[in-house]
Structure 1
Amino acid sequence: MARGEINRSGEMEVFVRVVEQGGFSAAARQSRMTPSAVSKLIARLEARLGSRLVTRSTRRLELTPEGCAFYERAARILADIEEAERSAGAGERPAGRVRVSTSASYGAHVLAPILPEFLIRHPGVSLDIVETDLVVDLLAERTDVAIRAGPLRTSSLLARKLGDTGKLIVAAPAYLARAGIPHSAADLDAHVRIGFSYARAVEGWPLRENGREIMLPVPARVQASDGEGIRRLARAGVGLARLAAFTVRADLAAGRLVPVLEALNPGDRESFHAVHPGSGGPLPARVRALIDFLAEHGRVT
């Protein structure tokens, strides 16, 4: 078959349906084809690519590593095609679903309060919000935008800065009344320190004492999977926590938490970015609308 005669988008669409429907028969029904026609199409695709994409058995269908990689790219290309057609038909009005990955803390304290205004401005856009403090693979998770805290890793992702925030050690008044107020780094050995249950860019609590910076390890006695979980534990009087300033301002103002060891705060700040895959082309209108809105209203300080 000549190169110009190959319907690449059609092949991709059938392959994506095979993967998402879990087999040839279900994909055939959705594509209005026979199972044998779908099987032959996948075989032709594999022959042209020179790689096996799926392994077939009587009970199940599994993707090879090459098949996984091809599926991720094909799904993204088809989504871009769909968005291009939608945008052209709607005069570039933002429309469609945006999948967002965000930390629980940013989601609760920054994103949630501004979402009503975004939805009013862009009635054609729908949001799928996933809250996790873990760094997700945007292509594997089919995520359009991720809000990430801390230093960015070198990658093909594009980023838009959303500001930065200070960090501080806090505790509930009830905990300090019970355990005492620490005045030095050494005093922290007698205190419960609440940490994260996964590896972070900075392992421990940086402090400045007697003119030098030290990194204080956080014992694993109490851990939580996200910043909001740690904040709730601190408010309940479990122990000390070191958290982003924007997440505890309301608690400090209400007296639910109080700052600790302020004289030892090194003044480090944590940056926030909205990151998205970089394909070299223009962003879909729906994704661009969200990122622009976050840059205007979703900044952290």
Structure 2
Amino acid sequence: MSRQDINRSGEMEVFVRAVELGGFTAAATACRMTPSAVSKLVTRLEKRLGARLINRSTRRLQLTPEGCGFYERSVAILADMAEAERHASAGEQVAGHIRINTSGSFGNHVFAPLIPSFMALYPDVSLELVHTDRVVDLLEERADVAIRTGPLKSSSLTARKLGTTRKMIVASPDYLRRHGVPSSPAELETHCRIGFSYSRAVEGWPLRLGSQTMTLPAARGIQVGDGEAMRHLALAGAGLARLPAFTVKSDIEAGRLTPVLEELNPGDVEEFYAVYIGQGGPLPARVRTLLEFLRENVRL
């Protein structure tokens, strides 16, 4: 078969579907092919490229490093082609489905209030919001954008900074009436401190003592898997919690939560980023528009 007879965009589309759907059978259904035809297409593609793209197993497909690179560029190329076709037929239309992965705290307190404005501007876009505090694999979760805190660990991801927020220790007035208001790290040791059940970039609660900073272990009594659960436990009077200021601002203003030991707050901040796959390559108009909307409207 000559090079000009190869449908390279068709191969890319089948390969991307196989990766995103997790198998040849699912890709075959989506592409209206047989599983054996999909398998042969991928094998033919690997032979032509001279590189193994996928390690096959009975349970799942695993991309090789070469496969990861080919997948990312294929996604970008297919998105660029689709965007070019949309531009030629109906202008640069912002339309389609966007899957967003974010923490419950950011989703509820920051993004949810912005959604009506975004949907009013772009009625042809549909949003899928997935809440989790754990760091997910964007490929496995088929997420277009993820909102994350802290430094990136993967060089295949690109990040746009959305802002920063300070952290603060809070408790409900009822809890403080029952257990007293701690006035020192030593007194804080005796209180129930609600912590996270997963590893964090900064473990423990930093406290400023003069020119020094000490770190107190976070969890003493209760551990949770997400920030919103921690906030609700604090509201219920279960213990002290250290949370981003934007998640408790309205609770403090309403008297539902009270800041604790603010004089020992070291002023450390948590950085928030919108993360997506690609290193400056083409993005679908819908994703590019969402990223710009977040940059202009997120206020932490």
For normalisation by structure 2, the TM-score amounts to 0.86
Change (3 A) 1:118 1:192: same
SS at match of 1:190: coil
**Residues 30, 194 of structure 1: CA spacing in aligned structure 2 closer, same or farther, 3 A cutoff?**
closer
Is the Cα–Cα contact under 8 Å of residues 194 and 241 in structure 1 kept in the other structure? Answer: yes
The reply on whether 1:85 has 2:66 as its aligned counterpart is no
Identity of aligned residues (%): 59
- Contact map agreement 1:104 1:133 (CA 8 A) in 2: yes
| Alignment check: 8 A CA contact 1:195 1:220 kept | yes
Q: Which amino acid aligns with 2:179?
A: A
Conserved? CA contact 2:77–2:282, under 8 Å: no
Q: Partners of 1:262 and 1:35 in 2: how far apart?
A: 61
Q: Which amino acid aligns with 1:211?
A: S
- For residues 32 and 185 of structure 1, the distance between their equivalents in structure 2, rounded to whole angstroms, comes to 64
Other-structure match for 1:273: 273
Aligned residue number for residue 292 of structure 1: 292
2:227 pairs with 1:227: yes
- The corresponding residue for 1:248 is 248
- Secondary structure of the structure 2 residue equivalent to 1:109: helix
Structure-to-structure mapping, 1:211-226, within 5 angstroms? 211-226=211-226
CA spacing shift, 1:44–1:112, aligned 2, 3 Å: same
Aligned to 1:63: 61
Aligned residues: 296
For residues 155-202 of structure 1, the C-alpha deviation after alignment (integer angstroms, 9 at most, x for no partner) is 343322222111111001111111111000111111000011111111
Decide whether aligned partners of structure 1 residues 176 and 21 sit closer, same or farther in structure 2, where only a CA change above 3 A counts.
Answer: closer
* C-alpha contact (below 8 Å) 2:79/2:282 kept by paired residues: no
Question: Following superposition of structure 1 onto structure 2, how do residues 128-277 of structure 1 map, counting pairs within 5 Å?
Answer: 128-153=128-153, 155-277=155-277
- Equivalent residues in 2 for 1:93-108, closer than 5 Å: 93-108=93-108
Give how far 1:7 is off: 1.4
TM-score by length of 1: 0.86
Instruction: Check 1:294–1:211 CA distance in 2 against 1; reply closer, same or farther (3 A cut).
Output: same
| Distance in 2 (alpha carbons) for counterparts of 1:267 and 1:260 | 14
Separation in structure 2 between the aligned mates of residue 222 and residue 242 of structure 1, nearest angstrom = 13
CA drift at 1:34: 5.7
- CA deviation map 1:40-82 (0-9, x unaligned): 43442243244374648xxx67424439748954556544533
Q: Which residue of 2 aligns with 1:123?
A: 123
Matched-pair contact (CA < 8 Å) for 1:194–1:221? yes
* Structure 2: segments with no counterpart, 5+ residues: none
Does structure 1 conserve the Cα–Cα contact (< 8 Å) formed by 2:204 and 2:216? yes
SS in 2 for 1:140: helix
Q: Using the alignment, how far apart are the partners of 1:223 and 1:29 within structure 2?
A: 43
Structure 1, 66-75 or 187-196: larger mean CA deviation: 66-75
Classify the secondary structure of the residue corresponding to 1:186. helix
Q: Deviations over 1:204-225 (max 9, x none)?
A: 1111123321111123521111
Q: Which runs of 5+ in 1 are unaligned?
A: none
Q: Does 1:4 align with 2:22?
A: no
Q: Distance in 1 between matches of 2:212 and 2:86?
A: 57
Change in CA separation of 1:68 and 1:44 when aligned onto 2, cut-off 3 Å: closer
Q: Cα–Cα, structure 1 residues 187 and 34, in superposed 2: closer, same or farther, change >3 Å? A: closer
Q: Is the 8 A contact 1:230 1:241 kept in 2?
A: yes
For 1:287 and 1:132, the matched residues in 2 are separated by 20
Secondary structure of the 2:266 match is coil
Distance 2:167 2:32 in 1: 57
